[in-house]
Structure 1
Amino acid sequence: VVSNQQARLGISSVNTAALGGVSGLLYQLGTGGSADLTSDPTTAASIVEEAINQVTSLRGRLGAFQRTTLETNKNALNDTL
């Protein structure tokens, strides 16, 4: 929380060109892509697993921000009313 009662939270990109990891990126799963299900299902599964882990981590960060920052400030404001 900064001095003017604003909170900031950075969110990384979650588009198909950013999700994935060492196995590849989510956009590569499309038909004709280098990791589509018909040509390389093992790599495709690894990419999906890595993308799920990234989204899960982001959801955790957002939930923690909600709990520790937003709800705390909401409760403090309710107490002052």
Structure 2
Amino acid sequence: MPTTTIQTTAREILELVGIDIADDVAVVLSDCDEVGAADGGTHRVNLGQIVTAVEQFQQVTGETVDVDALMDALPWA
């Protein structure tokens, strides 16, 4: 999946749980408690936020998202 598609998918999924990320900001994974907007045009999210957002997305839309594939595709902070 192209990087732009991964980023767009991540933003749409995260938006359902109240995490709004601008189109020009990259979603990156973090394994620490510091999440949110970060330097360098990135927004850090932790694995729990991704899992929760994917679960909500699937319940709301009925679409299946492979959470492991999404997390594998997102860059780490």
TM-score relative to the length of structure 2 = 0.21
Q: Which structure carries more relative contact order (alpha carbon 8 Å, separation 6+)?
A: 2
Report the structure, 1 or 2, having the larger helix content.
1
Larger radius of gyration: 1
Report the structure, 1 or 2, having the larger strand content.
2
